[in-house]
Each structure stands twice: as structure tokens, then as C-alpha cells.
Structure 1
């Protein structure tokens, strides 16, 4: 598969369960991949070593702390210096912590601010840093750049790890639409919105809870990280006239 041959993709949170699957999918489709990390330099480097490599492909682990705008400017410079272009940005970095929705005191100011800074301001700051490179590449390639924000069905169902997390993903979907309108036609902006994904982290949780979540889903299972990655690849290769949309990968969970 070489649908993305010659293209460069940057994935924040690239060493996580979903991020790693997205990086692997983009590399398998022919793209050169920048695996963005914050504190996971070792796992990011290990992932880079195992990514598919064809003719002209090169991959790198790149520091990408999404709440540090100066570091993101350095990231943009590193991408430009290494590849001279950027075609795809995937905002996969995020954070949360389980707090029951009725436990208002448990969702303290520090956690609330951390979630909004990482999950909402972070994707915006990444795009702000990489937008000049995306736009320049789009003008040269004659095709729009692509930004994919990894959201969650929590944006719609208002059920998730905590109230702030749900609000942050609703903000991401709204921001996706605003940016899609503002940056067209040079850059397309989409959200991919998974249900609960069966990552190694989720597999480490209470099996009874995990089984309950699967049973509540019409398709009777959790999303696979590779299926989330497949939606990102589809956005890059097949949904070329789509922008400002939220693509669900949730097994029909909001229907339940």
C-alpha cells in the first residue's frame, strides 16, 4: 500500500495505544511519520524502529509537548528541517483521570485546567505551529493539507472518565468545524470520534467493567486501535472532499 507515498505525517501522542496504531497505519500506507511524544521518548523511539519503511520513507521520534508552544515551534522547525514538508497532522495527545460525574469536589481546578489545556488548547497550538508548513506544502502539492483531531463519543453522550473530559471532547469537535471553515481550502480539518478503544490500558482495567461497556455497544465489542487508525487513513486517502466532519468509530454506542 503506497497511497501516502512521499507524504509526511506528524502524530502527537504517537506512543500511546491509539497513537501507535495510527503511526503504524500511516507508515504502512507509505508516509514518513513523526512520532510526537511528551514524556515517552523511549517508547516513541522503539515504535519508530518498528515502523514500515519503503523507498523514500524515514521516520523520527520528535518531542511534542502540546501545552508548550515554544516546544511546538521547535517541533515545526524540526519537521521542516528533516522533511521540508508536512501533509498530515494527527492530534492524538490527550489526558484524563477517572472522577465520578457527581463528585464535584473530586474534579479539582488543577485537573480541570490540565484536561482543557491538553485536550483543547493542545490541538489548537499544534495546528497553529504547523499551519504555515501545512499551507506551504498544500500550495506546492496542489492538494489541501489534513488535520485529524482524535475526539471521543463522550462529546455526544456526555458519559466518560469525568465531566471535564466530556466537555473537552465536545470542544474539540466544535473547534474542528470552526477551523475547517477558517482554513479552507488550503487545509482540511476532521475529527475521528472513537468509542472506548481496547488499548492495553483499557485491558488492564476491571474486566467486568470492560465487558459491560462492550455489552452496551450495539456491535457488542470495543473499538480496536487499528479501526481508529483506519478512519484516519480513510480521511487521508478516500474522504478527500470531506472537511469539518466528525467521523464516528464507536460501534453505534450513542444509539444504546
Structure 2
């Protein structure tokens, strides 16, 4: 699956899924911009270790529309194109679903701002560049929590459901020049998840028909497959969850 000549931007590019996606896009031949909010050092270290040339760590705070517009202008001036936008930036915090008092307004606002408004703002900012290629692609990193309504908290689940709905709306609105697809992982064995209670992690693996958690690389592989192989796919949600939705 080759993406030679393509330019890709991954928001949240320094996180577990984001970093795997950055590496996999670069290995496929794309020039990759690893977008970060507060993890500049991690993004710089990631980019320095990528195969190929031209990669860059870039500030891409998805809740700052002015900053995204400025980044789009920089990408146009320095690269002349953007073929792939991966909306991977996201946030959450574990709150039991029944504990509505702990799900305070500030947390709800932050989750919705990053997980829903962020992808809209990023897509809006980079739409002209993506459309100019005639074959642009937006991949939204969603979650099976959108369908199962089980996840770190109820606002997070709602944000991912909104993101999947957004994928369908944008696919209709931006066709035929830009495709829009959601990749929806189950629980992914990132460094963050590895730091959680082992018994809880084992329970989640046991509830998954394939008997384990997803690996970040598997999510990244799905993104590259959408970009390089599934070229007649748009407006849909691709689960990478080991059968978890089977119940």
C-alpha cells in the first residue's frame, strides 16, 4: 500500500494511535506532518525517526480555528498540497457512567470541543487544499463506544457518536473531491491503557471475541488501507475492534 507523493497531516500525532499512524503513513511513502497541541518534544522526536524526507512536527491545536487556518496557509506555502487529514486528536477522562456529578460541565465542554468541534474545524481549515487534489481524504478516528455506548464516560461516548454522524454528513457534503471515513477502534493497548488496572484490562480482553485488545499499529494499518486501497469508500465507519460489538 503505497502513498508516494502524498502529503498527510495527523492531528494528535504524538499520541499512541497518532504516532503509529504517522509512522505507517511515512513508511508507505507519504510526507507526514505530525500535529501536536502540547507534546512538541514528543512530536519532534517522532518525526526525527521517520523514514523518508520532508516530515515535520507542527502545532495543530484543534480547538483554535485561527491556528488551524494559519497552519493551512503554511502547508500550502511550503508543501503546495494536502492529500490526507487524519483527525486523531481526542480527549477523555474516566468517569463511571452513573456518576453524573463527576461529569462536570468543564469536562463535557472539553470533550465536545476536542472530539467534535476539533474535527469540524480541522476539516474546514484544510478543505481547500484537500479538494484541490481532486482525491482528498479525511479519516476520523472514532470509537466503537459510539455504537456500544460503553466507554470512559457518557460524554465521550456521545462525542464519538457525533463524530460518526459527522463523517456521514461531511462525506455527502464534500463529495466527490474529498472522501470522509471513520476508523473506529475498540479498546487500544496504548501506553495510557497499559497504565490502568491489569485486572480491568484482562476483563476487557476477555469480553472481546478475538481475546485481546487492539494494537495501535492495527488502527494505523486501517487508516493506510482507507487511503491506499479502499478508494471507493466514503461516509462509512470501519470498526477495528476484534468483534467486541458482537456482545
TM-score (norm 1): 0.95
Show the counterpart of 2:179: 188
Show the counterpart of 1:148: 139
Asked whether 1:253 is paired with 2:244, we answer yes
Show the counterpart of 2:192: 201
CA distance in structure 2 between the partners assigned to 1:196 and 1:246 by the alignment = 16
Contact 2:179–2:233 under 8 Å retained in 1: yes
Show the counterpart of 2:14: 15
CA distance in structure 2 between the partners assigned to 1:26 and 1:45 by the alignment = 16
- Within 5 Å, give how 1:20-169 maps onto structure 2: 20-53=19-52, 57-138=53-134, 144-169=135-160
CA distance in structure 1 between the partners assigned to 2:51 and 2:176 by the alignment = 31
CA offset at residue 78 of structure 1?
A: 1.6
CA distance in structure 2 between the partners assigned to 1:93 and 1:6 by the alignment = 24
CA distance in structure 2 between the partners assigned to 1:86 and 1:133 by the alignment = 5
Asked whether 1:244 is paired with 2:240, we answer no
CA distance in structure 1 between the partners assigned to 2:45 and 2:133 by the alignment = 28
Contact 2:5–2:30 under 8 Å retained in 1: yes
Asked whether 1:210 is paired with 2:210, we answer no
CA distance in structure 1 between the partners assigned to 2:97 and 2:196 by the alignment = 19
SS in 1 for 2:220: helix
In structure 2, stretches of 5+ residues that fail to align are none
CA distance in structure 1 between the partners assigned to 2:95 and 2:212 by the alignment = 24
TM-score (norm 2): 0.99
CA distance in structure 2 between the partners assigned to 1:110 and 1:228 by the alignment = 29
Contact 2:115–2:160 under 8 Å retained in 1: yes
- 1:14-66 per-residue CA deviation (whole Å, 9 max, x = no partner) reads 0000000000000000000000000000000000001111xxx4100010000
Runs of 4+ aligned structure 1 residues displaced above 4 Å come to none
CA distance in structure 1 between the partners assigned to 2:61 and 2:129 by the alignment = 18
CA offset at residue 158 of structure 1?
A: 0.2
Q: Equivalent of 2:215, from 224, 234, 237?
A: 224
CA offset at residue 137 of structure 1?
A: 2.2
Aligned residues: 247
SS in 2 for 1:116: helix
RMSD: 0.7
CA offset at residue 161 of structure 1?
A: 0.4
CA distance in structure 1 between the partners assigned to 2:180 and 2:239 by the alignment = 15
Show the counterpart of 1:141: none
